[in-house]
């Protein structure tokens, strides 16, 4: 009788396919996030900025209610 040693290897083709699929998904997600278009608001009216001197602000109003923060910019 002759003994034989059988070594079962991990299927390298399957491992390579799974690894490349995960890399493609990660790269695609990173590029999609980095290259996403900026958010734009298309409107028919133009944006106007009104600057009010501090002397015209009503002192009876609390400071928090004078200006609102909308989309990380302050609007008064």
List beta partners, residue 73: 70
Residue-by-residue pLDDT tens, the chain, 76 positions: 688 888 887 788 889 999 999 999 999 999 988 888 766 666 666 667 777 676 666 666 655 555 666 666 666 6
- State the DSSP H helix or E strand holding residue 34, giving kind and residue range, or none if neither: helix 12-34
The pLDDT assigned to 68 comes to 65
CA dihedral 70, 71, 72, 75 (to 10 degrees): -30
The pLDDT assigned to 7 comes to 81
pTM: 0.40
Per the structure block, which two tokens stand in for 53?
Answer: 């001197």
Per the structure block, which two tokens stand in for 48?
Answer: 């106007």
- State the DSSP H helix or E strand holding residue 74, giving kind and residue range, or none if neither: strand 73-75
The pLDDT assigned to 30 comes to 93
């Amino acid at each position: 009788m002759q003994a034989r040693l059988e070594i079962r290897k991990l299927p390298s083709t399957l491992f390579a396919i799974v690894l490349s699929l995960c890399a493609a998904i990660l790269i695609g997600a990173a590029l999609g996030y980095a290259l996403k278009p900026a958010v734009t608001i298309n409107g028919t009216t133009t944006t106007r900025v009104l600057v009010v001197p501090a002397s015209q602000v009503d002192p009876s109003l609390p400071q928090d209610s004078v200006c609102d923060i909308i989309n990380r910019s302050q609007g008064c």
